[in-house]
Chain A
Amino acid sequence: MNENGDRMSIIVQTIASILFPLALIFSFYVIMHGHLTPGGGFQGGAIGASAVALLIVAFGAKYVEGKMEEENLSIFESLGGLVFVIVSILGFFLAATFLTNFLVGEPLFGIIPAWGEAPLNSGGVLPILNLAVGMKVIGGLASVVLILAIASKEGEK
Chain B
Amino acid sequence: MMGLFEIAIILLSASMIASAIIAIWFKDLLASIIALAVMSLLLSLYFYILQAPDVAIAEAGVGACLTTAILIITIRSTERMEEGEK
Which A residues are within 8 Å of any B CB, using their own CB?
1-2, 30, 38-40, 42-43, 46-47, 49-50, 53-54, 56-57, 141, 144-145, 148-149, 152-153, 155-156
Closest to A48 in B: B61
**Interface pair B74/A152, CB less than 8 Å apart:** yes
The answer to the question of B76 belonging to the interface, with a C-beta cut-off of 8 Å to chain A, is yes
Number of interface residues of B (CB under 8 A): 16
**Interface pair A153/B77, CB less than 8 Å apart:** yes
Closest to A2 in B: B76
Contact of B61 among A47, A54, A144 (CB under 8 A): A47
Closest 3 CB pairs of A and B: A50-B65, A46-B61, A152-B77
A152 with B76, Cβ < 8 A, contacts A46-B58, A141-B66 known: yes
The answer to the question of B62 belonging to the interface, with a C-beta cut-off of 8 Å to chain A, is yes
A54 with B58, Cβ < 8 A, contacts A152-B76, A153-B77, A155-B77 known: no
Closest to B77 in A: A152
* Assembly CA distance A56 to B57 (angstroms): 22
* Assembly CA distance A153 to B69 (angstroms): 15
Distance between B44 CB and nearest chain A CB, rounded to angstroms: 11
The answer to the question of B20 belonging to the interface, with a C-beta cut-off of 8 Å to chain A, is no
The answer to the question of B73 belonging to the interface, with a C-beta cut-off of 8 Å to chain A, is yes
**Interface pair B57/A39, CB less than 8 Å apart:** yes
* Assembly CA distance A42 to B59 (angstroms): 11
B25-68 at interface with A (beta carbon < 8 Å): 53-54, 56-58, 61-62, 65-66
Q: List 10 other contacts, CB 8 Å, given A2-B76, A43-B61, A57-B72.
A: A38-B53, A38-B54, A42-B58, A43-B54, A43-B57, A46-B58, A46-B65, A50-B61, A54-B65, A145-B73
Distance between A148 CB and nearest chain B CB, rounded to angstroms: 6
Task: Collect the chain B residues with CB atoms within 8 Å of residue A38's CB.
Answer: 53-54, 56-57
Distance between B79 CB and nearest chain A CB, rounded to angstroms: 12
